[in-house]
Chains A and B, each alone.
Chain A
Amino acid sequence: MVNPIYIFILALGAGFLLTLFDKAGRKVSLTIFYAVLAAMVAISAQWLIALLGGSETAMIFTAGFKPPFSINLQMGLEEAIFTLAVNMLGLLSGLYLIKKFNATKVNAMVLFLMMIMGINGLIMTRDMFNLFVFMEITSIATFAMIGIDRDIKTLSAGFKYMIASGIASVLFLIGTIYLYRFSGMLHIDSMAVALDMASSQATLLAVFILLMAIVIELKPFPANGWALDVYEAVDSGVVAVIAAGSSAGMLFALYKITPLLNETLLLTVAGIGITTFVASNLMGLMQKNAKRLLGYSSIGQIGLVAGVFAMLVYLGYPINGKMVMLIAGGLFINHFVAKAGLFWLAGILNKENTEDWGALRKKPIYLFAFGAFILALVGLPPFPSFFAKWQMVMIFAKDNQFLVIAFILLGTLLEAVYLFRWLGKILESEVKEKIKVSFAQGLPVIVATLAVLGLGIYSATIVPGAGSLNIFYLPLLLIAALFVLDFLPVWVKNTLVILLMGFYTWQLLPGLEGYRFLFGVIFLVGGVILLIPGYAFKGKRVGFYPFAVMMYTGLAGLLIAENTLQFFTAWELMTLGSYFLIIRGKKAKPHALSYMLFSLGGAYAMLSGLGLFFSVNGNNLDLALLSSITESTSIIYILLVIGFLTKLASMGLHIWLPGAHGEAETDVSPMVSAILLKAGMFGLVVVMSAIQNPMIGNVSINYVLSWLGAITVFGGNLMAIYQEDAKRLLAYSSVGNLGYVLFGLTLMTHLGWLTSITYALNHFLFKALLFLAIGGVVWRVKTKNMYEMGGLIKRMPISFISVLIGIIALSGVPPLSGFAGKWLTYNVLIEKGWVLQGVVLIIGGLIAFLYCFRLIHTIFLGQLKDNHRKVKEAPLPILIPQVIFMFAIMFFSAYPNMVLRPVGDFLIKYFPQGAINWQNGVAFTAFGHWDGLGVLMITGVVFMAVFGWLLLTNRKTQKVGQFNIVYAAERPSRPELTHVGYNFFAHYRKALGVLSKPYAEKFWDGLSELFHSTADFIRKLYTGNGQTYLVHIIVFILVVYAFAMGG
């Protein structure tokens, strides 16, 4: 085994000799430089392997004495991990900078080696003063490295950095010397033993000063302006080392002095860290400069790691125990890899403005890398931070640290705002220029991508409850395979995915019971059917199939999830997959963003709820225990329900839906509308079947939710009638329809749930049908504005029939299946007696007629436009699923008992009372009756009779041209003149006045504006003046002192 001291010996030796070797040529010195970096990696790696294999922690003594009388280094598991990470970073960043090293003097290489070596020292040394020395070595090397760039921005940033760092080192020295004075030692571990903190205020002060030195180096808010400047100005390769490597070293220093900290100081660090996390992510909202934005994110992430770490120690988790490793370690390594990768990418692109990063689109690999880093930073599966965050919430909830959870999730959400906004900008931008990526610059990014994925998978195997995550292995493998196979033409991939998903469905579905089977049909059978339109697409459709499969993986995962970890992972996979599907739409970017943010916000509410659940049920993840919890039931219920309501797009949380569903691609709209929305319902079913009738005081939560459901129906449908865009109209209609679903569930009766499920099934069928039909029309006429269409019945008759069947089912007019829902609604209203909600709900339902008519009239009836005289019927792959759905609707209409009876049978398990009494296909309740087949047949017979009568009495009917109408004895010159379509229900808007105003949008816009303007206000702190930054540092220390020591 190579002694770790060789890391230093090699680095120092090479540092001294490189100048000499350089005389033999740059190639020689470069070879040695990389050899040394590689050797450093090798040494750490070898130690890591050995330590994982069970070797003991190695202590390296110097000068022949044992500590505390000598400086010693330590190589334990943590050190091995950190040094390996840092040395890898060094090697890769070194590679990344090869052009620079070739171009500048040999000094650059020396300084770079010193930087890496200094960080290694920071990690390994156990001596306080030695820690100072390595800190200074790192800093000085960094300053000098920064100084190589002769750019004015870089230089002034470097100078500010030096001032801040100078203060930190002064503090460090004072702290150290007094600790030495009080303990008589410099060896950190012995010092902690020797010091008796409680007894002496002076000791505490010394520790405080020392701590402040390290905290300043960790860039706390607001004493971190200098760091932002450095991140913005310094060369990407170097700044990757500063942001990831130096921070790693300083975090490790914090880790080492932790034994010296008492509870107050631990809490102080936790407070500083989490405040920094929230504040810097808030300020990041306003940032446009890419590297400065990454700086804000870095500062935030470091604050998070430090804060969470201190919090965990405060809560009594062993400092080198599994939880600290999993949570703080996971968060750290996640940030480390992702941020290094992002800074490298920043250098490759060399674009200051985040909005100019579109060139990435020409490089799918790097786009993928960028996406992976962003997702990792936000904490989505399968990345390490996801599992770290999950475990963190569980742990903190167990210890009742809900405020901490709330702040951290808030910060994460803020970070998600700007990161996903950035991602969206890239995906929507028009690419003009191409970028060239050299091997040396590309390789580090690719390694980082693989590393962050690999670490994520590793985290998934060590998080408590990891065993249960095996359900995702195969699908994730398929997703990975699809990413690799993305070069294949679309029909090959489509066939492949249909076959595999069909097979999976075939395997899975028979094993599901009760409502899970029902949702299985919607999610998976529906999913397979909705993949058929994919054949209409040409080319490769890059990036569609992996994410489609990811969404379906999440959906399937929900069905089979048995514990909360599986459930939440599935939920996030579904969200992630669907986000990338939605964002494919041409104008979908801002809407995909708001979809993602609402989803994340909802997911975080859910996560908090699951954490609370974890804490009250004896730290068990088992989802089945949800029904047996006795404490905090209502709060858990509310948190989980909020999570699901964001997916269900209930009024107030719905504003993402119209855009996201309306702007998505032809086959994505039905997927996310007909299928994905039901995931929210599935969640509600899971929670509501477990927790019955929770109360807050005297108020039943379900009663409140029933009002929300009713208002959602009204609001959603009302907004739908004002839309000019056909797909948005359908999207708003979904909002309304899911209001029924929510309302039905909140009734908590047999009929109520049956109503809800009936609506859900119907919505699944007719919304898939409508979105496909309208999607097909839009496919051909290239516009979504209804008033630009008209008379298309002549050109697209099958689509017309689809829409006709769809709107009849939607509006609930008998004889089609939609009526089942209406009929059940009346029954449950009478049964439950919630008639006031019922009035709102039913009126909302009647408003649906308005948009149904508008949809079919403005598009298919009226006057055909000149530019549409030659449009063809929608492509066959889009028509086939429509036919399937039409048959399904007709079947449901004719034999409602075949569908509703089995549903009723399993509902009896939850609600034994009040089931429907079926007699020969006729449904009887305590109040009324309905014969689906009978109505269909009577209607059919009467219709045929009347039709026959008309044919009989009619003479020869003459078909006339389009403009042959009674028009003041004139012929209209243009179809536009007589096609009434635009602002069709203006009178309704006028009549309803205030009711028609979009309050929800205003509220969220206002909230967003508030956050942004606050961010803009706060970030004005960073004036750019080095002296101001110094004042920040001093004031920061004084304030912290007042908080931590004063009280």
Chain B
Amino acid sequence: MTLITILGLVLIMIGLWGMLTQKNIIKIIIGFSIMDTGVHLIMVSIGYLKDRTAPIIDSAVDQANAVNTVVDPIPSALVLTAIVIGLAVTALMLSYAIKLYEKKGTLDINEFKELKW
């Protein structure tokens, strides 16, 4: 387990902590974002191989021997997708937050309990 993985885990925990404890919807969204970032870090750390270069085939990398010189490119690719998706979700959440605030004039999550049981 690399340091980055641990860092990712810590971020996830912080994010989750934020989501569970903060009453303000914006803060919850921030918590989610932090958690998401933690996940991304973990993903990158999985693909990381020590002492290798970025998986871009250009002059710096020997094409024939690329498999042994670059880090695993797939996690990186995945992370890019995940970041995009995370961004979309975060954006949507924020727009929800705006709408919710418009309706109720508050961002306290405890105030949105019309539906229950």
Contact B12–A1024 (Cβ < 8 Å) = no
Which residues does chain A contribute within 8 Å of B109, judged by CB atoms? 1025-1027
Contact B74–A156 (Cβ < 8 Å) = no
Say yes or no: is B52 at the interface (Cβ < 8 Å to chain A).
Answer: no
Which residues does chain B contribute within 8 Å of A292, judged by CB atoms? 115
Which residues does chain A contribute within 8 Å of B100, judged by CB atoms? 152, 155-156, 159
Given the interface pairs A152-B104, A1026-B109, the reply to whether A180 lies near B74 with Cβ below 8 Å is yes
Across the interface, B115 reaches (CB within 8 A) one of A143, A153, A169, namely A153
Which residues does chain A contribute within 8 Å of B82, judged by CB atoms? 132, 173
Contact A1025–B89 (Cβ < 8 Å) = no
- Report the bound CA distance from A159 to B115 in whole Å: 12
Say yes or no: is B42 at the interface (Cβ < 8 Å to chain A).
Answer: yes
Contact A229–B36 (Cβ < 8 Å) = no
CB A546 to nearest CB in B, in angstroms, measures 38
CB B26 to nearest CB in A, in angstroms, measures 12
**Contact string against B for A residues 575-595, beta-carbon threshold 8 Å, 1 for contact and 0 otherwise:** 000000000000000000000
Given the interface pairs A174-B39, A1034-B20, the reply to whether A163 lies near B116 with Cβ below 8 Å is no
Given the interface pairs A143-B92, A152-B103, A173-B43, the reply to whether A1023 lies near B28 with Cβ below 8 Å is no
Contact B92–A140 (Cβ < 8 Å) = yes
- The residue of chain A having its C-beta at the shortest distance from the C-beta of B93 within the complex is A162
Across the interface, B81 reaches (CB within 8 A) one of A133, A147, A1022, namely A133
Contact A1027–B35 (Cβ < 8 Å) = no
- Report the bound CA distance from A136 to B83 in whole Å: 12
CB A138 to nearest CB in B, in angstroms, measures 12
Contact B117–A1019 (Cβ < 8 Å) = yes
Contact A159–B112 (Cβ < 8 Å) = yes
- Report the bound CA distance from A156 to B115 in whole Å: 9
- The residue of chain A having its C-beta at the shortest distance from the C-beta of B40 within the complex is A173
- Report the bound CA distance from A136 to B86 in whole Å: 9
- The residue of chain B having its C-beta at the shortest distance from the C-beta of A1031 within the complex is B20
- Report the bound CA distance from A163 to B100 in whole Å: 15
Which residues does chain B contribute within 8 Å of A147, judged by CB atoms? 92, 95-96, 99
Say yes or no: is B56 at the interface (Cβ < 8 Å to chain A).
Answer: no
Across the interface, B92 reaches (CB within 8 A) one of A129, A162, A1025, A1026, namely A162
Contact B43–A1030 (Cβ < 8 Å) = no
- Report the bound CA distance from A834 to B103 in whole Å: 77
Across the interface, B113 reaches (CB within 8 A) one of A129, A186, A1024, namely A1024
Contact A1024–B39 (Cβ < 8 Å) = no
Contact A156–B114 (Cβ < 8 Å) = yes
- The residue of chain B having its C-beta at the shortest distance from the C-beta of A162 within the complex is B93
Which residues does chain A contribute within 8 Å of B23, judged by CB atoms? 1027
Given the interface pairs A155-B99, A1024-B116, the reply to whether A140 lies near B39 with Cβ below 8 Å is no
- Report the bound CA distance from A1031 to B20 in whole Å: 7
- Most chain A C-beta atoms within 10 Å of own C-beta, residue among B89, B100, B117: B117
- The residue of chain A having its C-beta at the shortest distance from the C-beta of B43 within the complex is A177
Contact A1023–B113 (Cβ < 8 Å) = yes
Say yes or no: is B6 at the interface (Cβ < 8 Å to chain A).
Answer: no
Contact B89–A140 (Cβ < 8 Å) = yes
Which residues does chain A contribute within 8 Å of B97, judged by CB atoms? 159
Contact A174–B96 (Cβ < 8 Å) = no
- Report the bound CA distance from A180 to B73 in whole Å: 12
Number of A-B residue pairs, CB cutoff 8 Å, is 121
Say yes or no: is A144 at the interface (Cβ < 8 Å to chain B).
Answer: yes
Contact B42–A174 (Cβ < 8 Å) = yes
- Report the bound CA distance from A180 to B72 in whole Å: 11
Say yes or no: is A158 at the interface (Cβ < 8 Å to chain B).
Answer: yes
Say yes or no: is B110 at the interface (Cβ < 8 Å to chain A).
Answer: yes
Say yes or no: is B66 at the interface (Cβ < 8 Å to chain A).
Answer: no
Say yes or no: is B55 at the interface (Cβ < 8 Å to chain A).
Answer: no
Contact B39–A170 (Cβ < 8 Å) = yes
Contact B103–A155 (Cβ < 8 Å) = yes
CB B102 to nearest CB in A, in angstroms, measures 9
- Most chain B C-beta atoms within 10 Å of own C-beta, residue among A144, A173, A1024: A173
- Report the bound CA distance from A144 to B32 in whole Å: 18
CB A839 to nearest CB in B, in angstroms, measures 53
- The residue of chain B having its C-beta at the shortest distance from the C-beta of A69 within the complex is B74
CB A612 to nearest CB in B, in angstroms, measures 39
Chain A: interface residue total (CB-CB under 8 A): 49
- Report the bound CA distance from A147 to B98 in whole Å: 11
- Report the bound CA distance from A286 to B89 in whole Å: 35
Say yes or no: is B25 at the interface (Cβ < 8 Å to chain A).
Answer: yes
- Report the bound CA distance from A1027 to B110 in whole Å: 8
Contact B96–A159 (Cβ < 8 Å) = yes
Chain B: interface residue total (CB-CB under 8 A): 39
Contact B42–A159 (Cβ < 8 Å) = no
- Report the bound CA distance from A157 to B109 in whole Å: 12
CB A834 to nearest CB in B, in angstroms, measures 53
Contact A155–B32 (Cβ < 8 Å) = no
Say yes or no: is B67 at the interface (Cβ < 8 Å to chain A).
Answer: no
- Report the bound CA distance from A225 to B81 in whole Å: 29
Say yes or no: is A1020 at the interface (Cβ < 8 Å to chain B).
Answer: yes
Say yes or no: is A178 at the interface (Cβ < 8 Å to chain B).
Answer: yes
Say yes or no: is A909 at the interface (Cβ < 8 Å to chain B).
Answer: no
CB B32 to nearest CB in A, in angstroms, measures 5
Which residues does chain B contribute within 8 Å of A1022, judged by CB atoms? 116-117
Across the interface, B19 reaches (CB within 8 A) one of A173, A286, A1027, namely A1027
Which residues does chain A contribute within 8 Å of B93, judged by CB atoms? 159, 162, 166
**Contact string against B for A residues 132-155, beta-carbon threshold 8 Å, 1 for contact and 0 otherwise:** 110010011001100100101101
- Most chain A C-beta atoms within 10 Å of own C-beta, residue among B35, B100, B116: B116
- Report the bound CA distance from A1030 to B16 in whole Å: 10
Given the interface pairs A129-B78, A158-B96, A1027-B109, the reply to whether A152 lies near B114 with Cβ below 8 Å is yes
Say yes or no: is B85 at the interface (Cβ < 8 Å to chain A).
Answer: yes
Say yes or no: is B46 at the interface (Cβ < 8 Å to chain A).
Answer: yes
- Taking CB atoms and an 8 Å cut-off, the chain A residues in 207-251 that contact chain B are 225, 228-229, 232-233
Which residues does chain B contribute within 8 Å of A180, judged by CB atoms? 46, 74-75
Which residues does chain A contribute within 8 Å of B113, judged by CB atoms? 156, 1023-1025
Given the interface pairs A170-B39, A1024-B114, the reply to whether A186 lies near B74 with Cβ below 8 Å is yes
Say yes or no: is B88 at the interface (Cβ < 8 Å to chain A).
Answer: yes
- Report the bound CA distance from A229 to B116 in whole Å: 7
Say yes or no: is A362 at the interface (Cβ < 8 Å to chain B).
Answer: no
Contact A1020–B20 (Cβ < 8 Å) = no
Which residues does chain A contribute within 8 Å of B95, judged by CB atoms? 147
Which residues does chain B contribute within 8 Å of A1031, judged by CB atoms? 20
- The residue of chain A having its C-beta at the shortest distance from the C-beta of B32 within the complex is A166
Say yes or no: is A869 at the interface (Cβ < 8 Å to chain B).
Answer: no
Contact A177–B46 (Cβ < 8 Å) = yes
Given the interface pairs A162-B93, A163-B28, the reply to whether A153 lies near B114 with Cβ below 8 Å is yes
CB A475 to nearest CB in B, in angstroms, measures 44
Contact A170–B12 (Cβ < 8 Å) = yes
- The residue of chain B having its C-beta at the shortest distance from the C-beta of A178 within the complex is B46
Given the interface pairs A129-B81, A150-B99, A152-B103, the reply to whether A159 lies near B89 with Cβ below 8 Å is no
- Taking CB atoms and an 8 Å cut-off, the chain B residues in 13-37 that contact chain A are 16, 19-20, 23, 25, 28, 32, 35-36
Contact B89–A166 (Cβ < 8 Å) = yes
- Report the bound CA distance from A163 to B78 in whole Å: 22
CB A1044 to nearest CB in B, in angstroms, measures 21
Across the interface, A173 reaches (CB within 8 A) one of B16, B39, B99, namely B39
Contact B46–A1020 (Cβ < 8 Å) = no
CB A126 to nearest CB in B, in angstroms, measures 16
What would 14 A/B residue contacts be, using CB atoms closer than 8 Å? A133-B85, A155-B100, A156-B113, A159-B97, A162-B89, A163-B19, A170-B12, A170-B36, A173-B43, A177-B46, A1020-B117, A1022-B116, A1025-B109, A1030-B19
* Cβ-closest 3 pairs across A and B: A1024-B116, A1024-B113, A156-B112
Beyond contacts A155-B100, A232-B115: 20 other A-B pairs, Cβ-Cβ < 8 A, are A129-B78, A136-B88, A139-B89, A147-B96, A152-B104, A158-B96, A159-B96, A159-B97, A163-B19, A166-B89, A174-B42, A186-B74, A229-B116, A1019-B117, A1022-B116, A1022-B117, A1023-B113, A1027-B19, A1027-B23, A1030-B20
Q: Which residues of B contact A (CB under 8 A)?
A: 12, 16, 19-20, 23, 25, 28, 32, 35-36, 39, 42-43, 46, 74-75, 78, 81-82, 85, 88-89, 92-93, 95-97, 99-100, 103-104, 109-110, 112-117
